[in-house]
Structure 1
Amino acid sequence: MSKKIIPLFIAAILVILSFMSVCSNATDIMYNTYHRRIYSETKSKNSSNDDNRGAKNSSNNEFTYETIDVRNMDEATLEKNMIEDFKNVSNFNRDIAGWINIPNVGYFPVMQCNNNSYYLSHNEYKEVEQNGAPFLDKDCDGFRNVSLIYGHHYSSGKMFGGLEKYKEQDFFFQNEFVTIYDGKYFYYYKPFSIYLFKSRTYSVQVTFDSLQEKEQYLQEIANCSTFVSDTPLGCGNSVLFLQTCDYSFYDARLVIAFKRTHTKKI
């Protein structure tokens, strides 16, 4: 092999490896299915005592897992599953605030308690678990006005790691509706902003003294966004923030802000 051909051959290999790396990053982000617990009916009836945080004791119950993948479900089937999963968890833990489906990212319970650290290390059954569970900020009044949900970020895509996909413009604008069920209503959202911030100097605001203050805040978010929807966002819109860690710089946080498009009561 001539000396001229060798550099060209090496360059070609590097280009191929680089392309494969980009493709791998896009395809290796896992989708989060949900592992529904199916409890023994007899055992469940014997578990009637609540602990001091409002969860029934499930440690002595026998159960199996059923994997729930909602990606190919129609809307009616998706909603049916969200209702069932919400009820199943609420039988054991009154901290359940809702259920969220983020298309092409994952399907999760959403917890809420008076401690924003608790569900960083506990699952929806209040068992210690490294992955934790997505949870609603303690200062949020459900999903009525401004809601902020936190979740861990794993580079594999586990938990809220899949929110990385919203950094791609096509995904941001074309992904399907995010759906939340809170036990009474289904809420549907579309993104209007994505941005990064340094957690030690900034935090997402969830309470406002007036509509004017809220409107000004949302405009400030739009001004610092990587992408922003051209759909008008009135200050009366209900807003959902999804927040997770980011590795673009030290102590970074990634936030995708959504506006509610419509609501449906069951």
Structure 2
Amino acid sequence: MKTKLYFKKLIAICLISIVCVCGYRTYDKLHEYKKADNIYTDLRKEKDANLNQQTNNSTSTKNKNTIDLSSINKDFVCWINIENTNIDYPVVQSNDNSYYLHRDIYGNYLYAGTAFLDYRNDYDTSNNLIIYGHNMKNTTMFSQLEKFKEESFFNSNPTITLTNKHGERNYEVFAVLLVKKDYGYTVANFNNDDEYNDFLNKIVDDSIFETKNKPTLRDKILTLTTCSYEFDDARTVVFCKEKNKF
């Protein structure tokens, strides 16, 4: 009788412990989501103030639509915005591809991290700019890259805009892939035109949907990548072509 009572108490304690642990993990995750929301809400206000100040400065109209958050962090590269998504974030660059995985723009721990440019890229000269961002369960950061796996959204041609202190660079999607992380899409620089052409051909051939605006060797591209959950080490990768400047 005492043995049965003991085991009942033990089971009850185990169940209570499980509930407590699950409750804590849920609270911790929600706390992290809220923390990230607050940080990025404040940064968007800073970005908007930055834009408004330049717009209202009649002597500097040539600088309209520029963003410079280097006073907050010297690692700031640009701001990324994608039409018809909630992707509206600063992009930074470190000397490796791990520093900002779980750090905010201020360098403090943040599970959601900060979108970052591949450390091998030169923002002004690289043929393939590669930007990484987490696929958060609450659909923030780069989670809505998943929308490009819907053919109607892919074909709607939303504009992807990168903005820094020198102005805007606008892109349009030309391919979307669902691949393993070792697919070889993170090529930041090419030794010659043949390498670049082979890279572009492979992307177009492997795209989920047929592309109608394949880049030429004269075009620069933008690669946006995030984790995906269809299989182990899956990645959703969106390839974009820079629009012609007139």
Residues 172 and 183 of structure 1: CA distance in aligned 2, closer, same or farther (over 3 Å): same
The one-letter code matched in structure 1 to 2:211 is S
Contact 2:157 2:173 in 1 (8 A): no
Superposed displacement of residue 172, structure 1? 0.8
The one-letter code matched in structure 2 to 1:174 is S
The aligned runs of 1:98-247 (5 Å cut-off) are 98-105=78-85, 106-144=87-125, 145-200=127-182, 202-247=184-229
Superposed displacement of residue 151, structure 1? 0.1
Instruction: Provide the C-alpha distance between the structure 2 equivalents of 1:102 and 1:209, rounded to a whole number of angstroms.
Output: 30
| Misfit runs of 4+, over 4 Å | 65-69
Residues 132 and 82 of structure 1: CA distance in aligned 2, closer, same or farther (over 3 Å): farther
Deviates more, 1:236-245 or 1:179-188: 179-188
Residue segments in structure 2 that go unaligned for 5+ positions in a row: 1-36, 49-54, 57-62
Instruction: Provide the C-alpha distance between the structure 2 equivalents of 1:178 and 1:163, rounded to a whole number of angstroms.
Output: 11
From 35, 41, 51, give the equivalent of 2:41: 35
From 250, 253, 259, give the equivalent of 2:232: 250
Instruction: Provide the C-alpha distance between the structure 2 equivalents of 1:122 and 1:82, rounded to a whole number of angstroms.
Output: 27
The one-letter code matched in structure 2 to 1:154 is M
CA deviations on 1:146-197 (whole Å, 9 max, x unpaired) are 1000000023311000111111111111142111113213111000000022
Residues 187 and 160 of structure 1: CA distance in aligned 2, closer, same or farther (over 3 Å): same
CA deviations on 1:52-91 (whole Å, 9 max, x unpaired) are xxxxxxxxxxxxx84989xxxxxx89xx9963xx43x311
The one-letter code matched in structure 2 to 1:95 is D
Instruction: Provide the C-alpha distance between the structure 1 equivalents of 2:200 and 2:138, rounded to a whole number of angstroms.
Output: 31
Instruction: Provide the C-alpha distance between the structure 2 equivalents of 1:242 and 1:36, rounded to a whole number of angstroms.
Output: 24
Superposed displacement of residue 119, structure 1? 0.7
Residues 132 and 263 of structure 1: CA distance in aligned 2, closer, same or farther (over 3 Å): farther
2:71 corresponds to: 91
Contact 1:193 1:258 in 2 (8 A): yes
Q: Tell me the TM-score normalized by structure 2.
A: 0.72
Superposed displacement of residue 235, structure 1? 1.3
Structure with greater strand share of residues: 1
Instruction: Provide the C-alpha distance between the structure 2 equivalents of 1:263 and 1:127, rounded to a whole number of angstroms.
Output: 38
Structure with greater helix share of residues: 2
Residues 202 and 231 of structure 1: CA distance in aligned 2, closer, same or farther (over 3 Å): closer
Superposed CA RMSD in Å reads: 2.7
Contact 2:75 2:92 in 1 (8 A): yes
